[in-house]
Amino acid sequence: MSPAPTSRAILRQTRFLLRRNNLRQASTTSEAATKAKETASQTTSKASEGLSKVTSSAGGIIGSAASRAQNVMSRVGGRTGRLVSFVQTLIPPTVYYARVGLELSKLVFQGQKMSLPSLSHIQSYLQPVINVARDPKSLMSRASSTSNYINPETILSNVRNTNRQQLISLSVIGAELLGFFTVGTMIGRMKIVGYHGQPSHEH
């Protein structure tokens, strides 16, 4: 039994007991209030004890089920066993790099002072896609109208009209990309210096 339905059943039972006890034993309002407080504290403590027992037993059950599943998968041999063991070896680094990527994206998000787009902004970007999905023939007419945006003169005017801040940010991003590429090639070659060419043999 999962912890959620059990805790709900305990809460229902405690509410029922509270109502019944309050109706039976209420001679005055002050006595009823004190008794209600006492029974509420008792039932809450009983409910929390029951919930902690349920969650502790459920944790043990889940852990034992996971260990049994791992034991069964480790007994599988052949290609399937190799595939299962290969996938199991990939899980920890995948989880690690996913967490690292999430933290890195949080840092970049905060460092660049970025904010999430609003719902209307997302809808304005998705609306053309939805319209094309509804009417695929309109895609050809849009293609001819977008060819005006690809005009080399408009591209040159956009490049000429960039301000200094945009150029600085683009150069920083370019330097970062070049640095990452260089470090990646060093790691891939396992050498800091480049490849050595073949010595020329003269006969």
Extract the runs of DSSP E, i.e. beta strands, from the chain: none
CA dihedral defined by 35, 37, 43, 48, rounded to 10 degrees?
Answer: -160
Give residue 72's identity as a one-letter amino acid code. Answer: V
pLDDT in tens, 35-66: 767 776 676 666 666 656 655 665 566 667 66
Q: Which residue has the higher pLDDT, 96 or 77?
A: 96
Within 13 A of 179's CA, how many CA atoms are on the CB side?
Answer: 6
d(CA 110, CA 29): 56
pLDDT at 26: 47
Three-state SS annotation for 138-178? HHHHHHHHHCCCCCHHHHHHHHHCCCHHHHHHHHHHHHHHH
What contacts 24+ positions apart, CB below 8 Å, involve 3-8?
A: 3/51, 3/54, 3/55, 3/58, 6/50, 6/51, 6/54, 7/47, 7/50, 7/51, 7/54
More confident residue, 168 or 56: 168
Q: What is the per-residue pLDDT for 145?
A: 65
